[in-house]
Structure 1
Amino acid sequence: MEDNAAVREWSERMQQEKGDSLTEGYESELWDSTRISVTQNDLQELRDIWNSWNGEVKQLFYCNYGDLPYLLDVKVDKYLFWALAQFWNPTYSCFTFGGVDLVPTMEEYMALLNCPKIQADRAYSRPVNVPPFLKKLMNITGMSEQWVATRIKQKGDSKCIPWRNLRDFILAHPDSKKRVDVFALSLYGFIVFPKAFGHIDEVVSDLFDRLDKGTTPVPAILAETF
């Protein structure tokens, strides 16, 4: 903690001297403790589904949603998270390592997703008039209002759909495009924007509903990272 405090003090002093947005008299304060949760959804069923698909279906996914499935194989290193937390600078929303400030960038996320349909100049923003969750799920799945309505659950302050319902849909639906769409929705809900454990949150469907229009989710993902 002493080393972390020294790095923080040095960083802020240098940035103030070079002209900076910090207000005069600003003093840095370190948290007494930091709680980090590395709990994540079980991704094995998603991996099994992906591995069961043939090359044609996988190529259909890549064309529409890019390299998202590679996130299924990313291992979460809890010790790395603990180490990084001590170098997080909340004032600048970056990691400070000695004389280097490190932040995730738009370009890195664009390269990570590697989706041919994404248009970098069309950033996602939540529209004022958003269709109800039920309508969005009907559009994504192609299922009836009754089918969707019986599967929507309330979790806290938001509506969700359990992963088990989407899993059964992916395994049974005859339309490859619909299976791919719901699989992509599940990846966004389980990995990129996880909220309700074991469920896909309504907020994810807001963004997902705009992806087929070429909208890039990268700014939203970057904001979620911070």
Structure 2
Amino acid sequence: MQNSLQELKEIWDQWNDETKQLFYSNYGDLPYLFDIKVDEQLFQTLAQYWNSAYSCFTFGKVDLVPTVEEYTALLRCPRFQVDKAYSRAVYVPAFWKKLTNITGMSEQWITARIKQKGECKCIPWKNL
């Protein structure tokens, strides 16, 4: 289903500043998409190279996945905050929980072997 752009703009215009700020804080700069002029020829060209099976662009034998910065440039959206993700993870398990699921080892075994390496937590290969 595709929403009506005009209807979305009207809803946005009805909101007060406080509601808009709440939306920005939760979803980032998405409302800026309302004002983007879509280059239809660009998207028709890109659509020819879109590989839906792998969710990337395929040019011959080369697969490319644009970064947020590259999409920003293609869409001409300089106001986007490239350091924001535009979706939220519902639940991100702790590092030890991920390792418990992957290795099948107990929580105690995992937490006893977790080491800090720089800014990251890891588990030494010798323990795996």
TM range (shorter): 0.3 to 0.5
Q: TM-score with structure 2 length normalisation? A: 0.41
Which structure is higher in RCO with an 8 Å CA cutoff and minimum separation 6?
1
Q: TM-score with structure 1 length normalisation? A: 0.26
